[in-house]
Amino acid sequence: MNEQKTLSEAFNRTAYRLSGQGLRNVEVLKSVLEQVEGSLESDIYGKGQVIEEFQSEMAAYLGKESAVFFPSGTMAQQIALRIWCDEGNLKQVAYHPLSHLEIHEEDGLKELHGIKPVLLADKDRLITLEDVRNLREDIACLLLELPQREIGGQLPEYSELEAISAYCREKGIKLHLDGARLFEILPYYQKSAAEVCALFDSVYVSFYKTIGGIAGAILAGDADFTEKSKVWKRRHGGDLISLYPYILSSAHYFKERIGKMEQYYRDAVRLAECFNACTRVNTRPAVPVSNMFHVHFDAPKAKVEPVLIELCEASGIGITGNVREFDGDTSYFELSVGDMYSQVPEEKREAMFRMLDARLREM
Which residues contact its own copies by CB under 8 A? 23-31, 33, 36-42, 44, 70-76, 78, 105-108, 111-113, 208, 214-215, 231-232, 234-246, 248
Smallest distance, Å, CB 115 to its own copies?
12
Give the integer Cα–Cα distance in Å for 310 and 325. Answer: 19
Contact between 185 and 288 under an 8 Å Cβ cutoff? The reply is no
CB nearer its own copies, residue 12 or residue 343: 12
Closer CB to its own copies, 236 or 296, in the complex: 236
Amino acid at 281: V
Instruction: Return the number of the residue (73 or 147) whose C-beta is nearest its own copies.
Output: 73
Q: How far is CA 123 from CA 23, 151, 217, 301, in A?
A: 31, 8, 26, 21
Quick one: 77 or 290, whose CB is closer to its own copies? 77
208 versus 353: smaller Cβ distance to its own copies: 208
Q: Exposure string (b/e) for 330-359, b if CB count within 10 Å is 16 or more?
A: ebbbbbbbbbbbeebeeeebeebbebbbeb
In the complex, what is the shortest distance from the CB of residue 112 to its own copies, in angstroms, rounded to a whole number? 5
- With a CB cutoff of 8 Å and minimum separation 6, the contacts of 358 are none
Tell me which H or E stretch contains 249.
helix 244-257
Q: Is the peptide bond before 285 cis (omega within 30 degrees of 0)?
A: yes
Q: How far is the CB of 83 from its own copies (least distance, A)?
A: 12
How near is the Cβ of 72 to its own copies at its closest, in Å? Answer: 4
Minimum CB separation of residue 245 from its own copies in Å reads: 4
